[in-house]
Amino acid sequence: MRARVLLSLLAVALVAAPFVVSGYLVSVLIVALYFAYVGQAWNIMMGFAGQLSLGHALYVGLGAYTAAALFVQSGVPPWLGLIAAIIVAMAFAAAIGFLAFRFGISGVYFALLTIAFAEFTRIGFDHFGWVGASAGLFLPVSQRSGSDLLALRGTPTMFYYVILALAAGAFALSRWLLTSRIGFYWMAIREDQDAAQALGIDTFRYKLAAVVVSAAMTSIAGVFFAFYYNNLFPEQIFSIGRSIEIILGPIIGGLGTLFGPVLGAFVLQLLAEALREGVSALGLEIPGLTQVFYGVCLLVVVMFLPNGVWPPIARRLRL
Amino acid sequence: MTALLAVEGISKRFRGLKAVDDVSFTVPKGGIVALIGPNGAGKTTTFNLIAGVYAPDTGRIVLDGEDITSLRPDRACHAGIGRTFQIVKPFGAMTVLENVVVGALRRSADVAAARSRAAELLERVGLADKAAMPAQGLTLPEKKRLETARALATEPKILLLDEVMAGLRPTEIDRMVETFRALNRETGIAILLTEHVMRAVMALSDRIVVLHHGRKICEGSPEQVARNEAVLESYLGTEAVS
């Protein structure tokens, strides 16, 4: 009950935000919501099912490139491109998951495998002429006279509502998954795979499901990314730095919790932005400052709140 | 009596070591059979062969007419094997109730139904008051009882108990024995157990199978086994059973 009230208040605040705050702050919120969304997608795989992916940028990149290339090269509208993007990401995820789980690769080795796939996909796209190779892929930017949701072209406010809807949808989906049979099975696998199997759980199938669901959700973020930023470079979108950025939110907010990834993304992005602003107001420019800040946040959380920021807050709020 | 579980000449070799060597026995419907023997006799390996953790090199395992030899653990569970682990494997971060819910979901995808079924089972094993606690906070004997409830939740035809009495005080042992007796009497579930606590073995089992160096050296009623010279020499010791 309390949780519902607080969640409704948050929803109202987020829906009203573009009417209240400046355009600059809306763009900051878009980034925060973007990370809240991908963080939740990653949390399904690691937080729920215990399968560590350090290469989630792979699915962002695949989603982004699939939809963007279809749009640029063949004029395929983004919502159709989105379906293609999801299919491509799911196919990659199923292949990786099949390889890993069929041959019993787990833990650190599985994480290394996810990095390897992200890396060689990056190198592949660097030489993939149809999508611009290392020179990048650019989406034509039309005059922003109005918003066209079907073409995914429009004002930052439109993009704000799109990513807000995605983040809210991911939250609802996560909640539903966590309270149904698949969620219990994922947590059992995360806690002890042998015991899970002894209770009749087909661990191979459920781990594969976690990877595929997470990848599908992440690829949608990629489509958003492509149409929001309008330029894609393999070097950037598939980079391991991007993969790490995705996982910071859930780790800082609280792995495996529903609200942790959302809270983590907001705390991290808003603080990082405040820091950038503060430093530039002092007339300084320090390259790499954001990364150092991420590192410090991670350090503090790992040392003092190993379960993340959210669980103690949830206790305090008696949720 | 018809055999529910029939183990027919199973062997398992690890590198050079014959962990289980041509072992055969049966568990009748509704029966309680104990597998005893010194450490390293092959009891847990036998359990793991039945539960599908390893595939036997030779031999056959039949449960209720169905050949379950070499089935994967999850398939073995579907066939009707419920087991506990000698080294306990609770789902530590989940609550005690949720641990059992995972088992109960084997029979119904409805989480609410699984929860109420799980609550009943916690009552049965005496963990009802710990239901909302994270499983990692339980004591070792409690974790063993939790594993029992979790296995029972899958509604197995036979329950494999791997040293669930270890570390219990005598009064607790008597309580556990009573729990399993009641379970067996009321639900008719068959039980195969390994145990070092002879007090429990003698009180519970209809029949005892004794393993030594992977081979079956004796089988019979508790009284017969307690008088068997080979058993006394290799395991019980001459003055152990009085």
* pLDDT for residue A146: 66
Cα(A179)–Cα(A208) distance, integer angstroms: 19
User: Model ipTM?
Assistant: 0.91
Is the separation of the CB atoms in B193 and B187 below 8 Å?
A: no
Pair of tokens at residue A305: 């709140």
Is the separation of the CB atoms in B72 and A197 below 8 Å?
A: yes
Cα(B193)–Cα(B199) distance, integer angstroms: 13
A255-294 per-position pLDDT tens digit: 999 999 999 999 999 988 888 888 888 888 788 888 888 8
Cα(A262)–Cα(A6) distance, integer angstroms: 14
A78-127 per-position pLDDT tens digit: 999 999 999 999 999 999 999 999 998 988 999 999 999 999 999 999 99
B118-173 per-position pLDDT tens digit: 999 999 999 999 999 999 999 988 999 999 999 999 999 999 999 998 888 888 89
DSSP at A153: B
Give A146-153 contacts, CB < 8 A, sequence gap 24+.
A150/A77, A150/A79, A151/A77, A151/A78, A152/A78, A152/A79, A152/A223, A152/A227, A153/A227
> Where are chain A's structural domains?
2-10+21-316
Identify the H or E element spanning B7. Answer: strand B3-14
> Where are chain B's structural domains?
3-80+156-236, 91-146
Contacts of A256 in chain B (CB under 8 A): 93
Pair of tokens at residue A113: 């495998």
A171-220 per-position pLDDT tens digit: 999 999 999 999 999 999 999 999 999 999 999 999 999 999 999 999 99
Only one residue has tokens 């050079």, namely: B16
A191-203 per-position pLDDT tens digit: 999 999 999 999 9
Out of A188, A190, A195, closest to residue B85 by CB: A195
Pair of tokens at residue B127: 């963990």
Identify the H or E element spanning A232. Answer: strand A231-232
Of the residues A177, A185, A191, A307, the best mutation for testing chain B's interface (the one with the most B CB atoms within 10 Å of its CB) is A191
Is the separation of the CB atoms in A278 and A286 below 8 Å?
A: no
pLDDT averaged over every residue in chain B:
91
* pLDDT for residue B242: 42
* pLDDT for residue A161: 95
A231-263 per-position pLDDT tens digit: 999 999 999 999 999 999 999 999 999 999 999
CATH 3.40.30.10 fits B3-80+156-236, yes or no: no
* pLDDT for residue A177: 96
Which of B210, B113, B202, B96 lies closest to B148, judged by CA? B96
Interface of B with A (CB under 8 A): 51, 53, 72-74, 77-78, 83, 85, 89-94, 98, 101-103, 105-106, 109, 111, 147, 150-151, 153-154
Contacts of A208 in chain B (CB under 8 A): none
Are the beta carbons of B89 and A200 separated by less than 8 Å? no
Pick among 2.60.40, 1.10.3470, 3.30.1040, 3.30.1950: CATH of A2-10+21-316: 1.10.3470
Q: Is the pLDDT of residue B239 over 60?
A: no
Return the top range by mean pLDDT from A73-77, A156-160, B88-92, B216-220: B88-92
Identify the H or E element spanning B60. Answer: strand B58-63
